[in-house]
Amino acid sequence: MHELSIAMQLVDVAARAAEDAGAERVSVVRLRLGALSGVVRDALEFSFAIVAADTALAGAQLQIEELPLVIYCVPCARKATLVGISSFRCPSCNTPSGDIRQGRELEIVGLEIMGAGVAQQQPLHP
Ligand SMILES: [Zn+2]
């Protein structure tokens, strides 16, 4: 399962960041998930809980911010937010665009670690 290996990387990165910060436990992991990341949210949450057990992240909450697909439309000279990921066409003028400005994110944007509040930003590249 794709999400299981991602969860393992997430836990790994977060545990290392917590260790660097001198924390013993991570209580919250904040994650940004783009519409094009190919990750099934439920499966990721499920995998995360399993992988996190017996680590510094045991029982940690996974807070996921889902980001829609955003393209840049040249004729309109502006960015456009798309509802789904089936079409890469501007919702205003219907011009297709391959200029993706948002939607591929899969990154940890913050951790809450025990005794130290919010830690650092930690990008993740699967
Ligand atoms: Zn347009």
Tell me: the pLDDT tens digits for 12-70? 999 998 888 888 889 999 999 999 999 999 999 999 999 999 999 999 999 999 999 99
Verify that 38 and 78 share a domain, yes or no. no
**CA of 35 relative to ligand 1 center, distance in Å:** 20
Confirm whether 125 is domain-assigned.
Answer: no
Task: Specify the DSSP class assigned to residue 121.
Answer: -
Average pLDDT, the chain: 90
Question: What's the whole-number mean pLDDT along residues 64-81?
Answer: 97
How many domains does the chain fold into?
2
- Give the tens place of pLDDT for each residue, 89-108: 999 999 999 999 999 999 99
Reading the block at residue 109, the tokens are 């944007």
Q: How far is the CA of 81 from the centre of ligand 1 (A)?
A: 11
Helix (H) / strand (E) element for 11: namely helix 2-20
Q: Is the pLDDT of residue 120 over 80?
A: no
If asked whether residues 24 and 39 sit together in one domain, one would say: yes
Kindly indicate the confidence band of residue 113, based on its pLDDT and cuts at 50, 70 and 90.
Answer: confident
- For ligand 1, the distance from its centroid to the CA atom of residue 87, given in whole angstroms, is 13
Q: What is the pLDDT of residue 21?
A: 85
9: domain CATH number?
3.30.2320.50
Burial 47-66 (b: 16+ CB within 10 A, else e): bbbebbeeebbeebebeeee
Say if residue 3 is in the same domain as residue 26. yes
Residue in the structure block whose two tokens are 């297709």? 96
Ligand 1 centroid, distance to 72 Cα (angstroms): 8
Question: Given this model, what pLDDT does residue 23 score?
Answer: 86
On whether both 28 and 38 belong to a single domain, the answer is: yes
Q: Are 55 and 15 in contact (CB under 8 A)?
A: yes
Question: Cβ–Cβ contacts within 10 Å for residue 16, how many?
Answer: 12
Residue 118 has pLDDT above 60, yes or no: no
Secondary structure (H, E, C), 30-85: EEEEECCCCCCHHHHHHHHHHHHCCCCCCCCEEEEEEECCEEEECCCCEEEECCCC
Residue 24: the pLDDT is 83
The domain in which residue 50 lies consists of 1-67+103-120
